[in-house]
């Protein structure tokens, strides 16, 4: 490794970049990848088991619903579009709706073609989407057409009907009496309509209990507020108002946040439109390397179990009054002390303009201490605002513990499971799979045939959020109506409708929701109802802030007693995954195939460890580890992660599903088997090498942009500078690279008409994968499966590159989306023997798919490695009834052709037609939004007409930060980048 570092050329900033540890060490395996564009056996057809697996993935990846997908709901739903009186075939209609995960609502606008929802966008009017979405929200549309959804009502595995279930429940309910034997288990709900039905049930059965549980929990933050302020509160962080942000074990730009709002707000303070701009500063202390850590100006490796001791040390450094603080062990290294001192000084200098946040894995005491720190810094009411929570603030772990005890004692006679998958996700020491068998009458409402569905007597199909009426409150209380876009494909019902049936009422979700809201509006009810459907939000429903104040001395004393001293042993920490999240998206091929933003692992999870910990355990990448904690044991492959904390093991949830659809069946390793009540978020763990090896597949070395001789990364791919240095000398980013390559052919006059271009701001991009999944959805990109990716055959048109710089122990990371650069002088065009790839007069490198013969010369000649080849016919023999998720405006490609990004040309043409229809001579700026641009929560991507000097993209390209990747090749790409800026603290630089 030391030899590699000596010879690795540096960038303009003197930094050395590497994509993987193999590249850093220059191993033979990396050289093999770097020297080959296509791997061995590049053109063979699959046979046997591999082919069967592939066909399953092809089917699941392409929306397998029946012709019933053409049915539209009977109730009137209101489109976002203006002036649509009737319905016109082939014209997309957009509807506002809302979806919830973990009790947090996100406003959506869903595009529907001929009654088929095919694409999800964020609702700009909704405060927690602001026009953007996450990768998981993008993938919701694929779940509508999942072929493995529950398709009918069943009793004890035999097909039944809703009428038979209703008759059974009527008889069952007659014997419940006061409901002492009735329990209902659901996920966290933020629906006012569901809350009303819950109240009706508990009124009718006063001794019944409704328990809420989420496997990815944010309970501790609300319980921390209870500890600090005497009442459970929801904290809202105004990142757009903060000059200094410190995240303690909190991936707030990633999966630790339930919405994309934090990314929207934070990234607005990272815009550098001129060299004198001021940006915020981000400090991060964490064990696992998150995308928030990748964005940090200063990042400290810290065991998650040491976070409490760290917070106490920070409070002492800030001289928070009230009690003499006794700092616990674990934060006493010189580096940590220096980090704390500099952080405290920076926070104190920005009172009222700073934020300290702790992650959902941290106990309530840490959240209480963080609340106290924010209060002492004057942030409360400024950058930190509190409101009443919109979900049940009680501890869900305490609730499911009591539920399990009631079941085992024989108290529970009837159990309803409304959504979720508790048999799979509840703490392992509750042994819920065994406990549920003790209940005489069990009912599950599930979307797929999951582990819970297989364990209950009555098995009911749950409708998809795009199939059901409902409502939901955002974290700040803002309410929205959930309106369906399609009739339930398999006769499913929502949690709201089943809850109404349990309460003894009848009626569809539409009737329940409309009645509950219009009853509040009086004479204007009809108008307000239509307005709510149109806008996607209900005005006047946002909650007022709560004036919260903590007694410092009392809270400090309680916190000091609750926070445990740091330990010297190994810890295991549980995280939601970028793929299946907590298991709910396990059967979603789009998410399984999207590489993890940091590890680049696909179709799998791993036990992430630091290099030092791996050395102590004697493991390398792929070696199976046996992990033991609190009497539970699992096996999981190890993976060395640069920048990971020592003595800490990070594992992702949601894998190893035993009862699942064809896509997620037995994919990865089930970390849930190690989670217990005492170690739900993190726990002490014993680890040993299991003596076996397992193949992890990653994309981190695929399509490497390396020097042709040394195989080292080129020096002009990623550019970054400290912002102070940039302010002093903006031109340093544009030093000469040597003589440019001579033009291979005459140039084209691009000075007239529309000329499309893109700018990507590396200072805003978090690498969250939202653009990657949005591109898949928009452009009918197929999934290929783990085996094909192992051969280097992934089909994604956007490659989310992640580069490390610095040492393996304390690495920094940079994210860079890489798609077709739309070169004006494209090397791919000059070598195509059939002119399948040509240039349009508007500057787009186009593909004539029916002309391509698959020579792959273009891919070999592409310096950016962004073209994809259809090795197999992913769409062969897929019947018409199974193509419901396809975007009809994009060609479905055949085997043996090249494909790549085309700047969403179908959207350009749509805007052109619209402007002509309205007799406009010009397409307006931002009228064309590419799929990646529209979804991006960081607003990192700008697209438009570069010939329009007033367009955002033209202005971005005039910034001194603007640069071209591998500029010396003289390909003149239309996609350019804005260099990344760091804002380091001089005391830590």
The tens digit of pLDDT for each residue in 914-934 reads: 899 899 889 999 999 999 999
Per cent of the chain over pLDDT 90 is 66
Q: Does 85 or 181 have the greater pLDDT score?
A: 181
| pLDDT tens readout for residues 934-949 | 999 999 999 999 999 9
Distance CA 335, CA 337 (A): 5
| Structure tokens, 179 | 């409901």
- Together in a domain, 599 and 731: no
- Together in a domain, 635 and 742: no
- Together in a domain, 383 and 274: yes
The answer to whether residues 611 and 408 touch, using CB atoms and an 8 Å cutoff, is no
Residue 577 within any structural domain of the chain: yes
| pLDDT tens readout for residues 464-475 | 999 999 999 999
Residue 684, Cβ neighbours under 10 Å: how many?
Answer: 15
> Residue 342: enclosing H or E segment and its boundaries?
helix 334-349
- Counting beta carbons within 10 angstroms of the beta carbon of residue 441, is it exposed (0 to 12), middle (13 to 18) or buried (19 or more)? middle
Rounded to a whole number of angstroms, the CA Rg of the chain reads 28
CATH number at residue 878: 3.30.70.20
Q: What is the pLDDT of residue 465?
A: 94
Residue 822 within any structural domain of the chain: yes
| pLDDT tens readout for residues 941-973 | 999 999 999 999 999 999 999 999 988 888 899
Q: Which range, 94-103, 489-498, 555-564, is most confident?
A: 489-498
Position of tokens 């920070």?
Answer: 314
The answer to whether residues 862 and 799 touch, using CB atoms and an 8 Å cutoff, is no
- Together in a domain, 421 and 350: no
What is the per-residue burial (b if ≥16 Cβ within 10 Å, else e) of 935-952? bbbbbbbbbbbbbbeebe
Distance CA 594, CA 585 (A): 12
Q: What is the pLDDT of residue 358?
A: 96
| pLDDT tens readout for residues 412-433 | 999 999 999 999 999 999 999 9
Sheet with 158-159, strands from edge to edge, namely 158-159, 154-155, 458-461, 441-446, 414-418, 182-186, 209-212
Supply the DSSP symbol for 817: E
- Together in a domain, 927 and 942: yes
The answer to whether residues 536 and 125 touch, using CB atoms and an 8 Å cutoff, is yes
CA atoms within 13 Å, Cβ hemisphere of 525: 11
Distance CA 832, CA 745 (A): 14
Q: Is the pLDDT of residue 541 over 80?
A: yes
Distance CA 922, CA 933 (A): 21
Four-residue CA torsion sign, 965, 970, 974, 978: positive
Distance CA 905, CA 416 (A): 49
Distance CA 930, CA 432 (A): 46
Distance CA 628, CA 647 (A): 14
Distance CA 702, CA 839 (A): 27
Tell which residue, 509, 508, 517, has the closest CA to residue 538: 517
Rounded mean pLDDT, 643-663: 93
Query: How many domains are there within the chain?
Result: 4
Q: Is the pLDDT of residue 338 over 70?
A: yes
- Together in a domain, 360 and 398: no
Residue 756 within any structural domain of the chain: yes
Domain interval for residue 321: 234-387+549-554
- Together in a domain, 953 and 904: yes
Residue 96 within any structural domain of the chain: no
CATH number at residue 168: 3.40.50.740
Residue 90 within any structural domain of the chain: no
Residue where one domain finishes, among candidates 660, 693, 726: 693
Tell which residue, 804, 799, 796, 851, has the closest CA to residue 829: 851
Q: Is the pLDDT of residue 63 over 60?
A: no
Q: What is the pLDDT of residue 12?
A: 43
Residue 970, Cβ neighbours under 10 Å: how many?
Answer: 16
Q: Is the pLDDT of residue 746 over 80?
A: no
The answer to whether residues 246 and 342 touch, using CB atoms and an 8 Å cutoff, is no
| Confidence band, pLDDT 50/70/90 cuts, at residue 836 | very high
| pLDDT tens readout for residues 857-879 | 999 889 899 999 988 887 776 54
Position of tokens 């996607």?
Answer: 536
Q: Is the pLDDT of residue 702 over 80?
A: no
Distance CA 430, CA 424 (A): 11
What is the per-residue burial (b if ≥16 Cβ within 10 Å, else e) of 165-186? beebbeebbeebeebbbbbbbb
Q: What is the pLDDT of residue 165?
A: 95
CATH number at residue 654: 2.40.40.20
- Together in a domain, 373 and 413: no
Q: Who's near 729: CB < 8 A, 6+ residues apart?
A: none
- Together in a domain, 805 and 864: yes
Residue 34 within any structural domain of the chain: yes
Residue 850 within any structural domain of the chain: yes
- Together in a domain, 285 and 311: yes
Distance CA 517, CA 527 (A): 12
- Helices 307-317 and 364-376: crossing angle in degrees, nearest 10, is 20
Label the pairing between strands 154-155 and 158-159.
antiparallel
Distance CA 670, CA 686 (A): 17
| Confidence band, pLDDT 50/70/90 cuts, at residue 48 | very low
- Together in a domain, 679 and 737: no
Tell which residue, 146, 100, 148, has the closest CA to residue 126: 100
Per cent of the chain over pLDDT 70 is 87
- Counting beta carbons within 10 angstroms of the beta carbon of residue 489, is it exposed (0 to 12), middle (13 to 18) or buried (19 or more)? buried
Position of tokens 């100006």?
Answer: 297
Whole-number average pLDDT of the chain = 87
Q: Who's near 913: CB < 8 A, 6+ residues apart?
A: none
The answer to whether residues 316 and 546 touch, using CB atoms and an 8 Å cutoff, is no
- Together in a domain, 884 and 779: yes
């Amino acid at each position: 490794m030391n030899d590699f570092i000596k010879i690795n050329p540096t960038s303009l900033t003197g930094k050395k970049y590497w994509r993987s540890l193999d590249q850093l060490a220059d191993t033979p395996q990396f050289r093999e990848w770097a020297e080959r564009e296509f791997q061995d056996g590049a053109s063979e057809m699959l046979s046997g088991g591999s082919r069967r697996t592939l066909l399953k993935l092809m089917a699941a990846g392409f929306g397998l619903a029946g012709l019933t997908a053409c049915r539209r709901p009977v109730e009137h739903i209101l489109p976002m579009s203006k002036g649509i009186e009737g319905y016109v075939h082939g014209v997309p209609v957009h509807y506002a709706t809302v979806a919830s995960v973990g009790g947090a609502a996100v406003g959506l606008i869903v595009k529907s073609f001929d009654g088929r929802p095919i694409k999800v966008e964020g609702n700009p009017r909704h405060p927690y989407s602001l026009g953007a979405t996450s990768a998981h929200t993008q993938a919701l549309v694929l779940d509508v057409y999942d072929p493995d959804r529950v398709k009918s009502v069943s009793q004890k595995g035999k097909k039944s009907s809703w009428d038979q279930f209703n008759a059974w429940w009527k008889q069952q309910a007659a014997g419940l009496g006061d409901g002492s034997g009735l329990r209902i288990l659901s996920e966290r709900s933020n629906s006012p309509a569901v809350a009303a039905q819950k109240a009706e049930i508990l009124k009718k059965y006063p001794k019944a209990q409704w328990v809420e549980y989420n496997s990815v929990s944010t309970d501790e933050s609300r319980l921390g507020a209870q500890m600090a302020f005497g009442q459970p509160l929801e904290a809202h962080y105004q990142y757009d108002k903060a000059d200094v942000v410190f995240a303690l074990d909190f991936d707030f730009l990633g999966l630790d946040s339930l919405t994309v709002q934090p990314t929207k707000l934070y990234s607005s303070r990272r815009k550098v439109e001129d060299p004198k701009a001021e940006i915020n500063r981000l400090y991060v202390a964490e064990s696992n390397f998150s995308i928030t850590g990748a964005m940090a100006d200063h990042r400290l490796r810290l065991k998650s179990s040491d976070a409490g001791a760290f917070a106490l040390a920070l409070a002492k450094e800030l001289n928070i009054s009230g009690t003499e603080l006794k700092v616990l062990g674990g934060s006493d290294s010189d580096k940590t002390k220096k980090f704390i001192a500099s952080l405290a000084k920076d926070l104190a200098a920005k009172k009222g303009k700073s934020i300290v946040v702790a992650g959902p894995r941290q106990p309530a005491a840490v959240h209480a201490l963080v609340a106290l720190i924010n209060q002492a810094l004057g942030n409360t009411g400024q950058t930190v605002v509190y409101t009443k929570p919109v979900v049940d603030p009680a501890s869900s772990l305490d609730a499911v513990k009591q539920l399990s005890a009631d079941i085992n004692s024989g108290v529970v006679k009837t159990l309803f499971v409304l959504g979720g998958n508790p048999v799979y996700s509840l703490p392992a020491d509750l042994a819920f799979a065994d406990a549920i068998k003790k209940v005489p009458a069990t009912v599950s409402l599930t979307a797929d045939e999951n582990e819970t569905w297989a364990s209950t007597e009555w098995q009911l199909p749950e409708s998809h959020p795009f199939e059901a009426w409902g409502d939901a409150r955002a974290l700040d209380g803002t309410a929205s109506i959930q309106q369906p876009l399609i009739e339930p494909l398999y006769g499913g019902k929502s949690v709201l409708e089943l809850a109404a049936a349990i309460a003894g009422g009848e009626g569809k979700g539409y009737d329940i929701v409309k009645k509950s809201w219009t009853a509040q509006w009086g004479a204007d009810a009809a108008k307000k109802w239509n307005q709510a459907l149109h806008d996607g939000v209900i005005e006047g429903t946002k909650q007022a802030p709560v004036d919260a104040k903590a007694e410092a001395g009392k809270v400090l004393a309680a916190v000091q007693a609750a926070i445990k001293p740091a330990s010297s042993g190994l810890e295991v920490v549980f995280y939601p995954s970028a793929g299946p999240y907590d298991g709910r998206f396990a059967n979603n091929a789009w998410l399984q195939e999207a590489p993890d933003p940091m590890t680049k692992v696909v179709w799998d999870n791993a036990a992430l460890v630091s290099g030092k910990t791996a050395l102590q355990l004697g493991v390398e990448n792929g070696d199976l580890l046996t992990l033991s904690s609190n009497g539970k044991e699992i096996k999981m492959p190890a993976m060395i992660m640069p920048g990971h904390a020592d003595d800490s093991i990070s594992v992702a949830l949601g894998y190893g599903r035993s009862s699942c659809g064809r896509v997620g069946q037995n994919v990865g390793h089930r970390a849930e088997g190690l989670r217990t009540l005492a170690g739900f978020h993190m726990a002490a763990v014993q680890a040993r090498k299991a003596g076996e090896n397992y193949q992890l597949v990653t994309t981190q070395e695929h399509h490497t942009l390396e020097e042709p001789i040394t195989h080292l990364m080129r020096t002009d791919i990623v550019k970054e500078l400290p912002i102070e240095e940039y302010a002093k000398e903006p031109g340093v980013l544009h030093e000469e690279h040597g003589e440019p390559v001579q033009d291979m052919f005459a140039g084209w006059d691009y000075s007239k008409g529309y000329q499309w271009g893109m700018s990507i701001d590396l200072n805003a991009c978090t690498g969250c994968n939202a653009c990657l999944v949005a591109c898949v959805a928009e452009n009918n990109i197929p999934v290929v499966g783990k085996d094909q990716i192992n051969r280097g055959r992934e089909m994604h048109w956007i490659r989310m590159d992640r580069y490390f710089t610095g040492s393996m122990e304390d690495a920094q990371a940079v994210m860079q989306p890489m798609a077709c650069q739309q070169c004006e002088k494209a090397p791919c065009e000059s070598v195509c023997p059939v002119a399948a790839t040509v240039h349009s007069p508007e500057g787009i490198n186009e593909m004539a798919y029916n002309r391509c013969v698959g020579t792959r010369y273009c891919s070999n000649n592409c310096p950016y490695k962004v073209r994809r080849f259809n090795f197999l016919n992913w769409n062969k023999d897929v019947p018409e009834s199974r193509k419901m998720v396809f975007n009809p405006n994009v060609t479905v490609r055949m085997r043996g052709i090249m494909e790549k990004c085309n700047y969403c040309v179908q959207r350009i043409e749509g805007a052109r037609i619209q402007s002509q229809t309205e007799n406009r001579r010009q397409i307006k700026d931002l009228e064309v939004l590419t799929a990646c641009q529209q979804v991006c929560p960081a607003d990192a991507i700008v697209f438009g007409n570069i010939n329009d000097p007033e367009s955002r993209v033209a202005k971005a390209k005039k910034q001194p930060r603007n640069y071209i990747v591998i500029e010396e090749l003289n390909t003149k790409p239309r996609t350019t980048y804005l260099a990344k800026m760091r804002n380091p603290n001089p005391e830590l630089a």
